[in-house]
Amino acid sequence: MTKRILFVCLGNICRSPAANGILEQMVSQRGLQEKIEVDSAGTYPGHRGNLPDPRMRRAALERGYNLTHRARTISEEDFYDFDMIIVMDDSNYERVSRLAPERKYLDKLYRMAEFMTDYPDYTYVPDPYYEGVEGFYLVLNMLENGCRVLLDKLESEI
């Protein structure tokens, strides 16, 4: 059965589309495209339809990730459609948890930091929107670590 993974941040133009592109690339490198599907969404609709922020696209492209996702807003439906909904920070967690159709659906909700074993001091992926380029590199480092650990876990389960 296909596992469906949804990454969520605020705008769906920096952190979650980067996680989306990174995990998709790792999935295809391991030949798991038939088994794992990836998408991303935001809690804030203001950037709906947009490509990722040019600063994130540039930083990601330096590492070989071509980010082409178009921003969309998360909805209650996503709790039915996805097996794991993985948020970037506490604010995302709070907003997404309020969309859960029933309490049991909260079992699908995770924090990206749970998979970032190289960053034990972080409980969230910091919002790079108001940061310089270093903030984008830090986010990519964290997401590469988290996606690798997540994919190892998924691969061991399928």
Q: How far apart (Å, rounded) are the C-alpha atoms in residues 31 and 101?
A: 33
Q: How far apart (Å, rounded) are the C-alpha atoms in residues 128 and 136?
A: 6
Closer residue to ligand 4NP (CB): 133 or 158 = 133
Catalytic one of 53, 78, 89, 127? 127
Q: Is 15 a catalytic residue?
A: yes
13 is a site residue for ligand 4NP (CB under 6 A): yes
Q: Compute the least distance from the CB of residue 54 to ligand 4NP, in Å.
A: 12
Q: Which of 2, 28, 46, 152 binds ligand 4NP (CB under 6 A)?
A: 46
Report the 10 Å Cβ neighbour count for 156.
7
11 is a site residue for ligand 4NP (CB under 6 A): yes
Q: State the burial class of residue 115 (Cβ atoms within 10 Å of its Cβ: 0-12, 13-18, 19+).
A: buried
The residues carrying an active-site annotation are 9, 15, 127
